């Protein structure tokens, strides 16, 4: 367990079901630099196509950095110490950790940076992040590339939801009352960003795992 004195996060642009939204937190230069960093991570731990336990292919491709990576396959959803190719995950770069340190309000360092790539047709159904051991720790989400329509509901299935367009450079922090809210991505708006040469969206989620 790694602990550092927590920083006081700046005021968010707005809140959504308790999730703190920081619009345009990363400027264009920081976004470009982060994409270069991510290319190095993906070279070390290539994107793979996960499937649900029922065998249904997920529409996103993913990889991870950190002590743990998140894996979805026929045996279930879980964190593991190695990529499906058997190699250890690369370390989380300082530039990504600094986003966590600035906005999470947590004294702990994340054990996983999940990297999801959304093509034009990719979606993410409403779900909870429940594979971590400590739900008092937030999930910090960074958006890069094309706009995504994010939707957040309640801590139980059903009921009303709220939606928000996440754009390149935005950061969302789901902690406290928002930590176990159901959430997902309804659709991608292709061509809304020029950050990625071939289009698409990258989403980074930083999590304390153990």
How many whole angstroms separate alpha carbon 105 and alpha carbon 45? 29
Domain presence at residue 3: no
Which residues constitute the domain of residue 113? 14-207
Mean pLDDT in residue range 162-177: 98
Domain presence at residue 179: yes
Domain count, the chain: 1
Q: Which residue has the tokens 């004195």?
A: 5
| CATH number (domain holding residue 26) | 2.60.120.590
- 149 token code pair: 């329509």
Domain presence at residue 5: no
- At 123, the pLDDT band (50, 70, 90 cuts) reads very high
Domain presence at residue 165: yes
How many whole angstroms separate alpha carbon 44 and alpha carbon 66? 12
Residue 72 has pLDDT above 70, yes or no: yes
pTM assigned to the model: 0.95
Mean pLDDT in residue range 96-123: 97
- 139 token code pair: 């999930």
CB count, 10 Å around CB of 77? 14
């Amino acid at each position: 367990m790694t602990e550092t004195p927590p920083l006081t996060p700046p005021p968010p642009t707005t809140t959504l079901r308790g999730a703190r939204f920081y619009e345009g937190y990363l400027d264009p230069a920081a976004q470009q630099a982060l994409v270069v960093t991510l290319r190095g991570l993906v070279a070390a731990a290539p994107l793979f196509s996960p499937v649900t336990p029922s065998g249904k292919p997920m529409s996103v491709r993913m990889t991870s950095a950190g002590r743990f990576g998140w894996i979805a396959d026929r045996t279930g959803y879980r964190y593991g110490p190695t990529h499906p190719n058997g190699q250890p995950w690369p370390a989380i770069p300082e530039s990504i950790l600094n986003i966590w340190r600035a906005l999470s309000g947590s004294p702990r360092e994340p054990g996983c940076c999940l990297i999801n790539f959304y093509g034009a047709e990719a979606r993410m159904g409403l779900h909870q992040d429940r594979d971590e051991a400590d739900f008092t720790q937030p999930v910090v989400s960074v958006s890069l590339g094309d706009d995504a329509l994010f939707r957040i509901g309640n801590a139980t299935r059903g009921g009303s939801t709220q939606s928000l367009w996440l754009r390149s450079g935005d950061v969302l922090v789901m902690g406290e009352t928002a930590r176990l809210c159901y959430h997902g991505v309804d659709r991608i708006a292709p061509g809304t960003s020029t950050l990625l040469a071939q289009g698409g969206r990258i989403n980074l989620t930083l999590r304390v795992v153990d």
